Amino acid sequence: MDVGGNESILSDPSGLFNESIVPSFINTTTIDPNWFYAASAQSAAAIVGLMGAFIITKMVDNKMHVRQLKSEISDYKEKMNYVQSELDKKQKYVDEIAYEEDCKLVEKYLEGMVAHIDPYNSFNVDELYNKARFDENYSHINRSVLEDKYNQDYLIKVANYHEKLVDEFLGKKKKDIDLAKPPSTDELYDEASRDIPNIKKSVLEERYNLKYLTEAKAPHQEIVESTMPETSNPWLTDDRSTIPSEDLYPHPSEDNYFSIISTLKWDKYHKYVEEIPEKEAECNYYLVLIESKERLLQASNEVANLRVNLISLFIFSILGVFVPLGMMLFDFEYMLKLRTIVYVGIFSGWLLVLVVLLDEIRKRV
């Protein structure tokens, strides 16, 4: 019974409503379905408009963010390239000076090894390098430079050095040797090694057999110093060498000039050595910033979340706007039967939009 004593007409011939879900004071038969569908479509359209504005705002904001990230990445790369060019210039200078010093050390080491290397049974690079490592003066010798300097030209100089030692010894012994019964190589080597510790038996044997005995058999040949082979060996000194001219020595002003140049060179070297770690750290700093910005740019370019928003908004616009408007094209009875289903569909679409919106807010926070 209603308030006026009339019998309630809450009946649901379609079976879609029952008294358990519809309040007793609502007369379902008197609700205008056109109003229901129109109001639902208007409400859903308003929600679609708000969500559309949200998505457009997000797209514009994302585009501006991407543009800003690209600009920052470009600036950082430009700064890093400049610092890297400065670093390369300083590193090149330091490497050149270090290479010069390595060459000087290797040349000094090889100079001291001339007398100890047998030109007919020379060391390989590894053997020579290992010998240097056990000498505290050459323990930090550069192997690559040693391999470069220990070449055929050096071995020729070594051979010239030992050949001249042997030739000088044989030149002194030639007049004392009985050509009818010449001494053996072993006898000559035993005698020579007492006075010349660095003389090599292999060189003595080669020079004695191929050169000395042939020359010794020539009749009435006098021994003169000019018959000895010349050598280009830079390490062999001769007491009879002429005194260099005074012009060969730098004047005091020139000596002072080269001293200043050397001081400036080493000051610059030490300055660059101190600055190189700072430049490397600066380059690494910019590199970290660039990598961080590139990760943010990659994340900003991913439109997976935006795609979900568009899909959810599309579903809700279909259920909330176009379905209610479409229902208004049917007859009165049919609209009454499907209004609950339409309402549930609209509500489900709204829940979908709400879930996506809350998830987006959570990610941004």
Kindly state whether residue 76 falls inside one of the protein's structural domains: no
Q: Distance of CA 349 to CAs 33, 221, 324, Å?
A: 20, 122, 13
Instruction: Count CA within 13 A, CB hemisphere, residue 91.
Output: 11
Residue type for 352, please? L
Kindly state whether residue 2 falls inside one of the protein's structural domains: no
Residues shown for the chain:
365
Cα Rg of the chain, angstroms: 51
How many CB atoms within 10 Å of residue 249?
10
Kindly state whether residue 156 falls inside one of the protein's structural domains: yes
Kindly state whether residue 283 falls inside one of the protein's structural domains: no
Q: Mark 76-107 as b/e (b = at least 16 C-beta within 10 Å).
A: bbebbeebbeebeebbebbeebeeeebeebbe
Contacts of residue 315, defined as CB under 8 A and 6 or more positions apart, other chains included, come to 349, 352
- Counted domains in the chain: 1
Kindly state whether residue 90 falls inside one of the protein's structural domains: no
pLDDT for the residue 215: 56
pLDDT for the residue 94: 92
Which of these, 32, 91, 119, 37, lies nearest to 278 by C-alpha position? 91
Contacts of residue 51, defined as CB under 8 A and 6 or more positions apart, other chains included, come to 309, 313, 316, 353, 357
Place of tokens 């009818």: 180
Contacts of residue 2, defined as CB under 8 A and 6 or more positions apart, other chains included, come to 8, 25
pLDDT for the residue 180: 62
Kindly state whether residue 159 falls inside one of the protein's structural domains: yes
Enter the tokens of residue 310. 């568009």
pLDDT for the residue 234: 41
Q: What is the dihedral of CA 46, 48, 53, 59, to 10 degrees?
A: 180
Kindly state whether residue 196 falls inside one of the protein's structural domains: yes
pLDDT for the residue 29: 53
**Domain span including residue 146:** 97-232+255-263
Kindly state whether residue 351 falls inside one of the protein's structural domains: no
Each residue's pLDDT tens digit in the chain (365 positions)?
444 444 444 444 444 444 444 455 445 555 688 888 888 888 888 888 888 888 888 888 888 888 999 999 999 999 999 999 999 999 999 999 999 999 999 999 999 888 888 888 888 999 999 989 888 888 889 999 999 999 999 989 998 888 888 888 877 777 666 666 667 777 777 777 777 877 887 887 777 776 665 655 555 444 444 444 444 444 444 433 333 333 433 444 555 655 777 788 888 889 999 999 999 999 999 999 999 999 888 877 765 557 777 888 888 888 888 888 888 888 888 888 888 888 888 888 888 888 877 877 777 65
Determine contact, residues 229/167, Cβ cutoff 8 Å: yes
